[in-house]
A and B are shown apart, each in its own frame.
Chain A
Amino acid sequence: MEQLKEILTPALFAGMIRIATPLALTAIGGTICERSGIVNIALEGLILIGAFISVVVSYFTGSAWLGVLGAIIVGALFSLILAYFSINLRADQVVVGTAINIFALGATGFLTDFIFKEAGATPGVAGLNPIKIPILCNIPWIGEIFFQQKPIIYLTFFIVAISQFILFKTQIGLRIRAVGEHPRAADTVGINIYKIRYLAVTISGALGGLAGAQLALEEIRRFVEYMSGGRGFIALAANVFGKWTPIGSWLGSLLFGFAQALELRLGIFKIPPEFVKMIPYALTIIVLAGAMGRATAPAAIGKPYVKD
């Protein structure tokens, strides 16, 4: 118990926020995408592309913020591949997403070698530094957990709130959900299904890219081959755990982040790290099995829409 008291510190929760941020950004992107009826398996690849582009841009321009911008833009552009294949060509979305993941892994590895003449990892680049929010950062506990972090982490708090608002309180949000639930009905009232789906996929690409930039520029200050490390798939789990809502996805990411941060401090309790790695997926199964209330995917998910 004494040991547990030592572990439950603000630092633990600050670690939870750091670990959860790339998951949350990606999971929110996945939520918006899936709400419009497109399965996005490619999140893992989008994180990787975002991380790589952010480092390349930061390396050549010396500006981390341009790197972040580049990651968002290229992430969005890259997701257009998924959009075109699954919306226009009606390809199997899981297959397209998997192809993008494989492509992202190969392309970033090859280009690391090609551009930097280094295998495995790039040299260090300009990264983003922590910003202490005046006054708020001095609040005991809360200050250390929330207000001494790095900029994309702050940005993520806004993105959670804004995306929740847009998805459930605005017309465009209603349209995204309608298209994912019953595209035929949405079509008959004049909603442009393709346009809405393109928008949703692009947003998920931009958020995936931003997640990659967070990982690369705020955490490691360089690109390391396969640094996404399965976060795209954990984000998918967080998305299901959060029942396809941005806030839910965020809470799911925080839970996974907490489990991970705790595990790293629990060495003394000899909990096998493999056990913690299992938690996101085990929780997802529990949620899907209905143990925590109904979790229903958007009805039209994964189905291409054919306009008559």
Chain B
Amino acid sequence: MNFLKKTIFTILTLSIIASLSLTLIGCPPAEEAVEEPTPTEEPTPTEEPTPTEEVEFKAAMATDVGKLGDKSFNDGVYAGLEKAEAELGVEIDVVISEQQTDYVPNLTKLAEDGNNVVFAVGFMMGDSIKEVAEKFPDTYFGGIDISLADADFNPIDVPNIREILFREQEVGYLAGVFAGMMTKEDSIDGINADNVIGMVGGMKIPPVDRFIAGYIAGAKSVNPDIQIEIIYTETFTDPAIGKEAAIAQYEAGADIVFQVAGLTGVGVFEAAVDKGNYAIGVDVDQSISSPDNAPVILTSAEKFLTQATFLTIKDALEGNFTGGDTAYGLENDGVGLSPFHEHEDIVPQEIKDAIEKAKQDIITGTVVPPETPEEIE
């Protein structure tokens, strides 16, 4: 009998632990799910009809599980909403997704709320956005890094979904031009005489490979004999492996390592600190988002999600919304190299000029960076 009592107690206590941990991972109370994004403004109830005025234009986003505060995708898109609010007078909203099963309900809620443009953030939300967009044909959807495909992986277009993609290869190319020339400036502390640079990729997926392909092509365009070490860590969340990967490259003579590896890339910066060399950041200006590593981050290959989000809202507002693939590159400020910040003075003017020239060449179409490393022999 005693044993039975204990068993029941065990099951009860275990389920308490399990439910507690589930609460911490996800399932927040419903009222927390919607954040009020406009602290400065008095929230105006939108349900009240104002027949004399034009109906207000509304834009909203559903985050992925990275949530706001990730200093990357979600924050970037949210900043784009804020910009649209400030410059276009658009009313904005955001819903936080705690887990992947929140995607469809969150997107549905935003569409039901009467938002004119709804953003979904990240490759993983592709199926959800498609499902919801088909139910709300009059709502525009923007999918960041999303490329839609049918069951056989053939690309498809949905008229009310804009697949917001970036030409990572263009900014990768600029990073390559920069690293390819910088590695020869061995009078600078932390730059050695070896003609080697490095590259740590998270996984072999198209956005990462576009960065890599551009990087290789850019470096070789200014430094044909350069040796480029490339490692995929097969994880975006293991910084210790990222550090070991970068250490291996620094020990092989690399003095600048470009990381496209999410949180794994945090380890690349740590390796640069330990080895006294340099790194190039990705997605956002990581000198700003990781200030304690700023001394080793020469620049970052940025994807301007803010700008892409803003432009999509603007297009929708002005009646210019188009569905299907829309790539943002150098010519429409969709990607770009971050400022050098504290390294401004050590970067020679000729390198800055070369980057500017490469940028113009890409914009005018004189140079077309490859999209996959396999295209470069």
* Interface residue stretch chosen among A24-32, A111-119, A194-202, A295-303: A111-119
**CA gap between A264 and B268 in the complex, in Å:** 13
Asked if B22 is an interface residue, CB under 8 A from chain A, the answer is yes
Interface residues of A in 207-224 (CB under 8 A from B): 215, 219-222, 224
Asked if B230 is an interface residue, CB under 8 A from chain A, the answer is yes
Q: Please name 26 pairs of A and B residues whose Cβ atoms are closer than 8 Å in the assembled complex, sorted by A.
A: A11-B248, A11-B251, A81-B17, A91-B14, A96-B14, A99-B14, A99-B17, A103-B24, A110-B25, A113-B69, A118-B71, A119-B67, A121-B239, A123-B291, A219-B243, A224-B263, A229-B238, A229-B240, A229-B241, A260-B241, A264-B241, A264-B244, A265-B252, A273-B232, A273-B233, A273-B234
Which of B13, B69, B230, B244 is close to A85, meaning CB atoms less than 8 Å apart?
B13
Q: Which residue of A lies closest to B6 (CB)?
A: A89
Residues of A contacting B18 in the complex (Cβ-Cβ under 8 angstroms): 99, 102-103
Please give the distance in Å from A218's CB to the nearest CB on chain B.
9
Q: Is the CB of A274 within 8 A of B234?
A: yes
Q: Is the CB of B13 within 8 A of A117?
A: no
| Contact flags A25-64 to B (C-beta < 8 A → 1, else 0) | 0000000000000000000000000000000000000000
Asked if A232 is an interface residue, CB under 8 A from chain B, the answer is no
**CA gap between A103 and B244 in the complex, in Å:** 28
Q: Assuming A103-B17, A119-B66, what are 4 further A-B pairs, CB within 8 angstroms? A: A99-B18, A121-B239, A219-B267, A220-B266
Residues of A contacting B266 in the complex (Cβ-Cβ under 8 angstroms): 121, 220, 222, 224
Q: Is the CB of B235 within 8 A of A229?
A: yes
Q: Which residue of B lies closest to A226 (CB)?
A: B237
Q: Is the CB of A119 within 8 A of B68?
A: yes
Residues of A contacting B3 in the complex (Cβ-Cβ under 8 angstroms): 90, 306
Residues of A contacting B292 in the complex (Cβ-Cβ under 8 angstroms): 123-124
Known contacts: A124-B293, A229-B237. The answer to whether A109 contacts B24 by CB under 8 A is yes
Please give the distance in Å from B237's CB to the nearest CB on chain A.
5
Which of A90, A219, A261, A273 is close to B270, meaning CB atoms less than 8 Å apart?
A219
Q: How many A-B residue pairs have CB under 8 A?
A: 129
Which of A91, A102, A106 is close to B10, meaning CB atoms less than 8 Å apart?
A91
Please give the distance in Å from A231's CB to the nearest CB on chain B.
8
* Main SS class of interface, B: helix
Asked if B354 is an interface residue, CB under 8 A from chain A, the answer is no
List the 5 closest pairs (A to B, CB-CB), nearest first: A106-B24, A124-B292, A103-B21, A106-B25, A229-B238
Asked if B245 is an interface residue, CB under 8 A from chain A, the answer is yes
Please give the distance in Å from B93's CB to the nearest CB on chain A.
20
**CA gap between A261 and B22 in the complex, in Å:** 36
Q: Is the CB of B244 within 8 A of A15?
A: yes
| Contact flags A240-274 to B (C-beta < 8 A → 1, else 0) | 00000000000000000000110011010000011
Asked if A120 is an interface residue, CB under 8 A from chain B, the answer is yes
| Contact flags A144-163 to B (C-beta < 8 A → 1, else 0) | 00000000000000000000
Residues of B contacting A265 in the complex (Cβ-Cβ under 8 angstroms): 248, 252
| Contact flags B1-34 to A (C-beta < 8 A → 1, else 0) | 0010011011001100110111111000000000
Q: Is the CB of A119 within 8 A of B69?
A: yes
Q: Is the CB of A120 within 8 A of B240?
A: no
Q: Is the CB of B244 within 8 A of A89?
A: no
Asked if A18 is an interface residue, CB under 8 A from chain B, the answer is yes
**CA gap between A15 and B234 in the complex, in Å:** 18
Q: Is the CB of B248 within 8 A of A264?
A: yes
Residues of A contacting B13 in the complex (Cβ-Cβ under 8 angstroms): 85, 89
Which of B21, B238, B245 is close to A264, meaning CB atoms less than 8 Å apart?
B245
Interface residues of B in 157-213 (CB under 8 A from A): none
Q: Is the CB of A102 within 8 A of B25?
A: yes
**CA gap between A269 and B234 in the complex, in Å:** 17
Q: Is the CB of B244 within 8 A of A107?
A: no
Q: Is the CB of A90 within 8 A of B6?
A: yes
Q: Is the CB of B14 within 8 A of A221?
A: no
**CA gap between A265 and B248 in the complex, in Å:** 6
| Central interface residue in A19, A123, A226, A229, by most chain B CB within 10 Å | A229
